[in-house]
Amino acid sequence: MRFFTTLLYTLVLSSTGFAQVDSVVVSGRIRNLSARLYREAPTVLIGRNNILQASRELIKPAPLNVDGTFRVSIPLIYTQEELYFNYGRISTAFLAAPGTLTIDLNADSLFTVAVPFRFGGVNAQVNQQYARYKAFEASYPDKPDAKKLSNDISGAVTNTSFVLLNQAFQKTFRAFAAKEKPYPLLARWIEADNRYAAASFLYDRLIVGEDQRQPTALSDSISLTNGIILTASRTQAMNRFATFANRQIVSKASQQAQRGLAVNKLSGLILRYGKNLTDTEKARLQEFAETNAARNADLRFLTDLVRRNNEVIQSLVNYEFLIQESRKQYDDDRREYMTAFWLVNSFPILTLSQDKLLYGYARPQLINRQLGESLDELYRLEVKDSVVMTQAIATLDKSGEATTELEVASGVFVTRDKSGRTTGSALFDNVINANRGKVVYVLFTSNESEAGRQASLDAQRLRNTYDARDLTIVYLPMLTSDEQPVWVEAAARDKLVGDHLLLSSSQLDDIAGRLRYDDLPSATIINRTGKIIKRNAPLPADLDEARKAIDKGL
């Protein structure tokens, strides 16, 4: 299963800092568009993937004109990319390449014909045949069943496991190919997609199991260089591989008698990024960097320097250690992928300054063009609105340890007491009392998990369905005191309008008994008079159910 994080983005390309990328212009028309349908869905959405983050689908909106036409330019990093057309309840994947591509539909037959799409431009014949294949697949009676496959392919993950699973995933396409000869590009697209789906299936087994062996057939099925087509399935498989590899690297490193960076690498990092180093310290570091040797007393000296520059150096040390260990187990292609994957997955739990530091360190190490551009794309999204993020932190820092409904960005209010003198219950009651007369939707969440980050974004969609006088969102993130700036920056960047209650672990424990949350993320609904009416309420992604629960408090 693929989990999507949907966000609207504007790609900013400049001649300094980021390379120019190719693009495809997607245009088309929804014919016979009625006024009612236009009011219900005035925008077409075009989505695409990034090979470093399977959980995030990058979406660009294309507003419909009154005659049903639309036009949007989509950046492309790979030679061929699987994109996604979404309009209301209608959606399809299609294959895009640089140039122009058209998609036409007839509103009168959207739900009455098996293939409502008509493609033109680049890959027109392939996309039209793909639409026919998906219609065939929907009615094919013997599609692969995940539960049955889990039972059939049990035990250790082997080369045979992969071969059998790949054959099972290819079965539907083989049946279609017997009925209609596929274009070569279509065959490459679907067969690769199925192969990656099989790889993801087995990597999931390896991740949750005890077996750390990676069969050759499975390992060979994924690579940065074995395909020109970027699909959701390929992205998912690469992510699952990197997750497995991370588990493997950490496990093996924990068994080593001596763990840590090589002396020359650590010395080089301190020389490059350390602050306020004396000439004597620089000379000793230069010697260590050249000789890669140090005595025990020298190691204490290095440790003291790391501690002195902890905020800057420690994140680099942790990151470089993973890269160092990956070199021992994987080839350059896979190591390079993990270098970028680890960084992207660290973005949500690092401050803006740490993101910039690690990006500047990692980016020159990426030789693969597509991988570098993929990292550039996600980094741009992470640091967008950096001015707003920086101002939010400055406002928070000026306020001192205790704040009550401090507006750090437009509509983003922070309440906290880092000193711990105010209990969690008292801080919670202050926020609830300030919102008397409204229903309060409390979201207990975290920026460390994809589910938590997505729930935070979804809560804004829920909020936007109500008048501001009727509903307010209270974010209750699970954080340590040191992690509070990360949350505030993300709230400012993502425009998480509402109250943000930043509590320490002991302050969270103080209110745990009242909220009695079962999971993370979790939600609680409080009515206009301040009474809890629903614990473990529907999460904001379940919009209809969440609204039903909220409406009971209005």
533: helix, strand or coil = strand
The pLDDT, as a whole number, for residue 10 is: 36
The pLDDT, as a whole number, for residue 15 is: 34
The pLDDT, as a whole number, for residue 256 is: 66
Contact 526, 444 (CB under 8 A): no
- Return the bridge partners of 72, or none: 26
442: helix, strand or coil = strand
Q: Which helix (H) or strand (E) holds 211?
A: none
Contacts of 73 (CB under 8 A, 6+ apart): 23, 24, 25, 26
For residues 81-97, average pLDDT: 94
Helix pair 296-308, 279-291: axis angle to 10 deg = 120
- Domain 23-139 is found in CATH 1.10.260.40: no
HSE (CB half, 13 Å, CA atoms) of 364? 3
Contact 102, 121 (CB under 8 A): yes
The pLDDT, as a whole number, for residue 248 is: 85
Query: Measured between alpha carbons, how far is 500 from 100 in angstroms, rounded to an integer?
Result: 45
Pick 428 or 8 by higher pLDDT.
428
Pick 154 or 45 by higher pLDDT.
45
CB count within 10 Å of CB 28 equals 24
Contact 21, 373 (CB under 8 A): yes
- Model confidence pLDDT, tens digit, residues 186-242: 999 999 999 999 999 999 989 887 677 788 888 888 877 667 899 999 999 999 999
Give residue limits of the domains in the chain. Answer: 23-139, 146-254, 400-552
Mean pLDDT is lowest, of 219-228, 254-263, 531-540, for 254-263
Cα 537-541-543 angle, rounded to 5 deg? 75
Strand 439-445 with 522-526, pairing: antiparallel
Q: What is this structure's pTM?
A: 0.87
Q: Which helix (H) or strand (E) holds 439?
A: strand 439-445
508: helix, strand or coil = helix
For residues 322-333, average pLDDT: 88
The pLDDT, as a whole number, for residue 8 is: 37
- Domain 400-552 is found in CATH 3.40.30.10: yes
Task: Give the amino acid at 492.
Answer: A
**With bands split at pLDDT 50, 70 and 90, how would you rate the model's confidence at 471?**
very high
Query: Measured between alpha carbons, how far is 60 from 23 in angstroms, rounded to an integer?
Result: 13
C-alpha 460: how far from chain center? 18
Query: Which stretches of 254-311 are assigned E, i.e. beta strand?
Result: none
